[in-house]
Amino acid sequence: MEKILVTGSSGQIGLELVDALRDKYGEDNVLASDIKENTNDDPYFVMLDILNKQRLIEIVTDHKITQIYHLAAILSAHGEWNPKKTWNVNLNATLHVLNLAKEGLIKKIFFPSTIAVHGPNTPKKQTNQFTDFSPETVYGMSKITGELWCNYYHKNYGVDVRSIRYPGIIGWKNKPQGGTTDYAVEIFYDAVEKGAYECFLGKDTRLPMMYIDDAIRGTLELMEAPAENVKIRTSYNLAAVSFTPDELTALIKERMPSFVMSYKPDQRQQIADGWSQSIDDSEARKDWNWNHKYGVKDIVNVMLDNLSK
Ligand code: NAD
Ligand code: SER
**Residue 139 a catalytic site member:** yes
pLDDT one-digit tens code per residue, 250-271: 999 999 999 999 999 999 999 9
Ligand 2, atom 1, residue with closest C-alpha:
168
Q: How many CA atoms lie within 13 A of 256 on its CB side?
A: 22
Span 272-279, average pLDDT: 97
Q: How far apart are CA 90 and CA 99, in angstroms?
A: 15
> Is residue 229 in contact with ligand 1, taking CB distance under 6 Å?
no
Q: How far apart are CA 101 and CA 106, in angstroms?
A: 5
Residues with CB under 6 A from ligand 2: 75-76, 114, 116, 168, 179-181
Q: Which domains does the chain have, with CATH numbers?
A: 4-169+210-237 (3.40.50.720), 171-208+241-278+294-308 (3.90.25.10)
Q: Which of 139, 153, 166, 294 is catalytic?
A: 139
Closest atom of ligand 1 to 49 CA is: 19
Confidence at residue 39, expressed as pLDDT on a 0 to 100 scale:
76
pLDDT one-digit tens code per residue, 122-137: 999 999 999 999 999 9
pLDDT one-digit tens code per residue, 55-97: 999 999 999 999 999 999 999 999 999 999 999 999 999 999 9
| pTM of this structure | 0.98
Closest atom of ligand 1 to 111 CA is: 32
For residues 188 and 253, the answer to whether their CB atoms sit within 8 Å is no
Closest atom of ligand 1 to 89 CA is: 18
- Mutate which of 12, 75, 165 to test ligand 2's pocket (most atoms within 8 Å of Cβ)? 75
Residue 215's pLDDT band, with cuts at 50, 70 and 90, is: very high
Please determine, for residue 38, whether its predicted confidence score (pLDDT) is greater than 90: no
pLDDT one-digit tens code per residue, 191-207: 999 999 999 999 999 99
| Burial letters 96-105, b for 16+ CB under 10 A, else e | bbbbbbeeeb
Return the closest-CA partner of residue 150 out of 217, 43, 236, 211: 236
- Percent of the chain having pLDDT more than 70? 100
